[in-house]
Amino acid sequence: MKICLLEPAVARRQAEWIVAMEPWLSMGFQAEPIGRWLLRRARAGCVLAAAHQRAILGIVASQPDVLLGTFIALLAVRPQAAGQGVGRALVERVEHATFAHRRWLYVSSDSKNLAAGRFYQRLGFARVARLPDLVCENRVEILWRKKRP
Ligand SMILES: CC(C)(COP(=O)(O)OP(=O)(O)OC[C@H]1O[C@@H](n2cnc3c(N)ncnc32)[C@H](O)[C@@H]1OP(=O)(O)O)[C@@H](O)C(=O)NCCC(=O)NCCS
């Protein structure tokens, strides 16, 4: 597996499989706007992919310069590649780049997404806030952060 920057047009196409997965599916996310957002993030050099041969296994999109750190705005691993260290490898790459010069790495997850919560805890993130209605009305996002070692 290798981690590489994703070209904008390729990043845009990843929206198709991402919106078919939880938590985005039940939140009603649509491929077109997510694809446009990924395109913009990738033009800013902020979308990484984990790939094996030519197959994309997972992606991470980040936003730098948020609250003295970086915010991971989207992390998705294809279901068939889950549990094989892809998510960890993607987050660790963002961590490495962030902690070279910033103090904090942030991410948020839907409070019902217990798997994501366990994953972020396992990677050393601490829960710092509840953000009701942030992404959808009547749902709560949990804000997580990790400090530079
Ligand atoms: C959550 C997600 C990113 C995890 O990625 P992954 O590639 O399956 O996770 P990894 O294999 O890298 O696991 C890393 C560690 O987290 C742990 N972990 C992963 N999923 C877990 C779960 N459901 N419960 C408990 N621990 C879990 C693993 O045991 C592993 O621990 P270790 O490295 O110490 O052995 C992935 O399953 C996913 O994309 N889910 C759907 C979208 C999502 O929820 N995105 C994040 C929130 S927006």
At residue 42, the pLDDT reads 98
Please state, in angstroms and rounded to a whole number, the distance separating the CA atoms of residues 102 and 112. Answer: 30
Residue range 84-115, pLDDT digits in tens: 999 999 999 999 999 999 999 999 999 999 99
Indicate the number of domains in the chain. Answer: 1
At residue 6, the pLDDT reads 97
Q: Nearest CA to 89 among 79, 103, 75?
A: 75
Which residues form the pocket of ligand 1, taking CB atoms under 6 Å from any ligand atom? Answer: 21, 23, 75-77, 82-88, 109, 113, 115-116, 118-119, 122
Q: Please give the residue range of the domain that contains residue 23.
A: 2-147
Q: Residues 115-135, buried b or exposed e (16+ Cβ, 10 A)? A: ebbebbeebebeeeeeeeeee
Here the CATH number for the domain that contains residue 109 is 3.40.630.30
Q: What's the distance, CA 65 to chain centroid?
A: 16
Contact status, residue 145 vs residue 125, Cβ threshold 8 Å: yes
Q: Nearest CA to 74 among 50, 92, 91, 54?
A: 91
pTM assigned to the model: 0.97
Question: Quick one: pLDDT band at residue 79, thresholds 50, 70, 90?
Answer: very high
CA of 32 to the centre of ligand 1 (A): 26
At residue 24, the pLDDT reads 93
